Structure 1
């Protein structure tokens, strides 16, 4: 065998070993990576629930949702948090149009129909606006905590410049209006579908 063929054979063998090693490494690390991604996903979602308010794994089983096309948004999924077997909150995952593109949120509503937490999961707004909206430390969404359809008049579901009750994101009138409308959509949906969401039997 000539030196050229020996070199080619060695290179082919090395390439084969590299491919086998890469595939083996991917297979070995796939499960830990998937588990880490799942844990990160759960952490993002479950921060909207008050600590100690649930002892199940809410995201393990999605609820069957009906009538998911709402006035200003679309529901993508729903989940039930429970404590000692009793419902404590419903998580609603919705999507709606912001100024720069689609926005996805998870909204937590307790059994009395009050908002207990919200978080932006995905958004396509400009970097400055996106930071204001998605970063929990900015606390803009905190002004909605405790609100419900029953304790907030219809006309209050608007920014203050529209004679409503809520502050807007700085320089983001369109996005602020869209978020408020989507939050109200979620509250309406909860009120309209409460028995099914909480697993209660209808009278």
Structure 2
């Protein structure tokens, strides 16, 4: 009898332990997910001035996925708004670098000017194209303020290719790929500007 009681008690204790563990996991799952979303937001949105939007852009995706462009592929995008008016578009673009895929996040304001570019993924050569992953990134910052027409199409190239941009030292292929991807994104934005930001933008 004592043995039976001991077994029952052990089973009950095990059940209580499992139940408590499940309860803790269930109640904390939402909090963990919310914290992860906050981390993702900070990582993805730190190119936008905090006072330039008041929505949750990552919860307002644009209707695009895996759109092939001239030199890259648009994987997706998000819309930032302030007081209900579009303030910026963030486009996730992928291109092929020297050693593999490069994924960039490209922020464009409602007037079509580049707010910033951030590397999300890359596998370029460390110390060369791999410097693309540094944040903040001086080379990527050199594109801020540009648009699809500023410079003109032939200016969207390396200086060694008669364009207007310097390259990452020792990383010609990587630099060309990024320049073409940024230009792709800016042109695509212009083509869809009315659809995404309507007439809220002011020249």
The TM-score with structure 1 as length reference comes to 0.82
Shift of 1:11: 10
Q: Which shows bigger deviation, 14-23 or 166-175?
A: 14-23
**1:51 aligns to what?**
50
3-state DSSP of counterpart to 1:65: coil
CA distance in 1, matches of 2:40, 2:69: 25
Shift of 1:108: 0.9
**1:68 aligns to what?**
67
**What runs of 5+ residues in structure 1 fail to find an aligned partner?**
2-8
Shift of 1:98: 1.3
Task: Describe the shift of the 1:95–1:67 C-alpha distance in structure 2 as closer, same or farther (beyond 3 A).
Answer: closer
**1:139 aligns to what?**
138
CA distance in 2, matches of 1:144, 1:87: 22
Task: Describe the shift of the 1:26–1:126 C-alpha distance in structure 2 as closer, same or farther (beyond 3 A).
Answer: farther
**2:123 aligns to what?**
124
Q: Tell me, yes or no, if structure 1 residue 197 matches structure 2 residue 179.
A: no
Q: Tell me, yes or no, if structure 1 residue 88 matches structure 2 residue 87.
A: yes
Aligned residues: 200
CA distance in 2, matches of 1:11, 1:139: 62
CA distance in 2, matches of 1:110, 1:39: 22
3-state DSSP of counterpart to 1:144: coil
The TM-score with structure 2 as length reference comes to 0.82
CA distance in 2, matches of 1:181, 1:15: 60
| CA RMSD, 1 decimal | 2.9
Task: Describe the shift of the 1:29–1:129 C-alpha distance in structure 2 as closer, same or farther (beyond 3 A).
Answer: farther
Whether contact under 8 Å (1:44, 1:121) holds in the other structure is: no
